[in-house]
C-alpha cells in the first residue's frame, strides 16, 4: 500500500497514513470547504488497507479544531477500524489533545463511546 502524505494547510490537517508501518496520523485543524472530498480518498485507502492484512494499526488523531463535517468524516474513519478490531485486529486510536484543551478532550470522550473493541487512548500533549 502506498503511503499517503499530505501537508497541512490552514483549513486541512497534516495527513500521514503509513500503512506499511501500521501508523496513521492526522494533525492540525480540519475545516475544509468540502470535507467529503478531503476525507473520501483517505477512507477508501483505509478500507483497502483493512482488507489486505491483519497487522496492528495505530491511528493518532491530534486535531486542535474540526468542524461538524470533519467530525462526521472522522466517525466514518473510526467505524471500519472498530469493525476490524471486532474481527480481531489490534487497533489503537490515540486521541491527542493539548493540555487544558477541554473542548477537544470532551470531543475525544464522545468518540471513545463509539469503541468497544478497538483501544481508544486519551493522550494529553504538554506544550512544547
Partner 1 sequence: MSGETLAPAPQPGGARRGGSLRGAGPMRRGDALAGLGFAEVPTTQDGGADTMRPGALRGAARGRNLDGLAHALFLRLFPVIAAMVLATQVVIAWVNYGDQIRLTGERAQMMADMTARALARPDWTTSHGPQLQALALDPAFRVATLRDAAGNVVGRLGEEPRGRGFERIQVGSEIEAGPPGQPAGSLTLVLSAEALRANAEKQFVMVLGASLALMLAFALALRLAVRRHVLAPLTRLLSAMGRVEHKEWVTVDLAGRQRPSREIADISSAFNRMVEGLKSGDEARHLLAELERTHARLAEANGLVMESLGYASRIQQAVLPGPGALRGPTLEVAVLWEPLHVVGGDYFWLEEIDGLCIVVVADCTGHGVPGAFLTLIVATALDRILHDQGLRRPDDILAALDGVVRTRLRQETGQVAGRAAEAPEGSDDGLDCGVCVLDRASRILHFAGAGLALTVLDGAGVTRIKGRRHGLGYRRTGREEALSGTAVPLADGQTFFLMTDGVSDQMGGASRRLLGHRGVAEILARHRDLPLDGQVAALEAALAAHRGPEPRRDDMTLVAFRPRTG
Stretch that binds partner 1, among 1-9, 14-22, 85-93, 99-107 (CB under 8 A): 99-107
Instruction: Output 25 or 28, the one with its CB closest to partner 1.
Output: 28
Taking the CB of residue 120, how many other CB atoms lie within 10 A of it?
24
Query: Applying CB under 8 A, which of residues 83, 90, 92, 94 lies at the interface with partner 1?
Result: 83
68 binds partner 1 (CB under 8 A): yes
Provide the phi-psi class of 21: left if phi over 0, else alpha when psi is between -120 and 50, else beta.
Answer: alpha
36 binds partner 1 (CB under 8 A): yes
Query: Applying CB under 8 A, which of residues 23, 67, 92, 112 lies at the interface with partner 1?
Result: 67
For residue 33, the 8-state DSSP code is: S
Query: Applying CB under 8 A, which of residues 104, 108, 118, 120 lies at the interface with partner 1?
Result: 104
Query: Applying CB under 8 A, which of residues 21, 48, 54, 103 lies at the interface with partner 1?
Result: 103
3-state secondary structure 65-103: EECHHHHHHHHHHHHHHHHHHHCCCCEEEEEEEECCCHH
Amino acid at each position: 500500500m502506498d503511503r499517503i502524505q499530505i501537508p497541512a494547510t490552514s483549513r486541512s490537517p497534516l495527513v500521514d497514513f503509513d500503512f506499511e508501518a501500521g501508523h496513521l496520523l492526522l494533525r492540525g485543524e480540519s475545516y475544509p470547504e468540502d470535507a467529503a472530498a478531503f476525507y473520501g480518498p483517505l477512507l477508501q485507502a483505509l478500507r483497502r488497507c483493512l482488507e489486505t492484512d491483519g497487522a496492528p494499526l495505530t491511528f493518532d488523531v491530534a486535531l486542535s479544531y474540526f468542524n461538524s463535517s470533519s467530525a462526521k468524516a472522522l466517525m466514518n474513519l473510526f467505524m471500519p477500524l472498530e469493525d476490524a478490531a471486532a474481527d480481531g485486529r489490534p487497533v489503537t486510536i490515540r486521541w491527542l489533545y493539548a493540555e487544558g484543551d477541554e473542548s477537544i478532550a470532551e470531543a475525544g470522550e464522545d468518540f471513545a463511546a463509539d469503541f468497544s473493541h478497538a483501544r481508544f487512548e486519551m493522550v494529553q500533549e504538554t506544550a512544547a
